Amino acid sequence: MKAEPGSSAPPKVLVAYVSYSGNTRETAEIIAGVLAEKGMEVALLDVSEVGIPSEDEAPSDPQDVREFKGNSGTRGTGVPLEGYDVYVFGALTWGDGELPEEMRVFLRGLLPLLERRFEEGRAGTSAVFGTGDSIFPRFCWAVDIIFHHLTKRGIPTFPEKLKIEQSPYGLGQVAKVKAWAERFAEWMQGSTTVEDAAQEASTSKFVVK
């Protein structure tokens, strides 16, 4: 766990996801439930509610991501994205193995912030999950894409990625989701394996856009 030394406050967790038809949201809710049961303070965020800024609104300063609010992408009081110890990202895979635009824009704003915190020694930890359909050749590639972006920036990331076939309530996958969340919680307590993750990222085939 990368909480502040000497801090006894429960870790604050943001579970940020994108979901078009509900499968990834359901998975996010199960994960959030497990982490909350462990005493963590968990917030769920549908990143499509944060809104996608138009090109001319796109922030030159990544801090501005805090100010995006609502589907129109208008600025407002904002969704507070800083101040979490743990970030869990979830996405469906779209198109031909693609990361949905909403999550791509969200990460483009947030990851520089997390990277800076890591450089300042205030890093949190992260993890990635997603749902897909194995009928597609690029099954759950969005998970790999997010993982690649996190580890490339040196953000401590749980090496075990979670990939779920459609709804977690199908195929008896709820137990799989819960077990993953349990292992992630355990991993947080121990040392992070940034090196492992970074090594995996260095062999990744994904190109950063």
Ligand X SMILES: Cc1cc2nc3c(=O)[nH]c(=O)nc-3n(C[C@H](O)[C@H](O)[C@H](O)COP(=O)(O)O)c2cc1C
Interface residues with ligand X (CB under 6 A) are 19-25, 92-97, 131-133, 136, 138-141, 166
From the CB of 66, what's the least distance to ligand X, in Å? 25
First-residue to last-residue Cα distance in the chain: 30
Which residue is nearest to ligand X, using beta carbons? 132
Asked if residue 99 lies in contact with residue 146, where contact means CB atoms within 8 angstroms, the answer is yes
Residue closer to ligand X, measured from CB, 162 or 188: 162
Q: Which is nearer to ligand X, 93 or 126 (CB)?
A: 93
Gyration radius of the chain over CA positions: 16
CB of 169 to ligand X, least distance (A): 12
Q: Least distance in Å: CB of 146 to ligand X?
A: 14
In eight-state DSSP terms, residue 143 is H
Residue 18: strand pairing partners? 91
Cβ of residue 62: shortest distance to ligand X, in angstroms?
26
Q: Which is nearer to ligand X, 104 or 153 (CB)?
A: 104
d(Cα 192, Cα 18) in Å, to the nearest integer?
26
Beta-carbon contacts of 97 under 8 Å, excluding residues fewer than 6 positions away, are 136, 137, 138, 141, 142
Closest to ligand X by CB, 180 vs 187, is 180
How many other CB atoms are there within 10 angstroms of residue 9's CB atom? 9
Cβ at position 11, least distance to ligand X in Å: 25
**Which residues make beta-bridge pairs with 173?**
none
41 vs 98, beta carbon nearer ligand X: 98
Angle at 74 between CA 69 and CA 80, to 5 degrees: 25
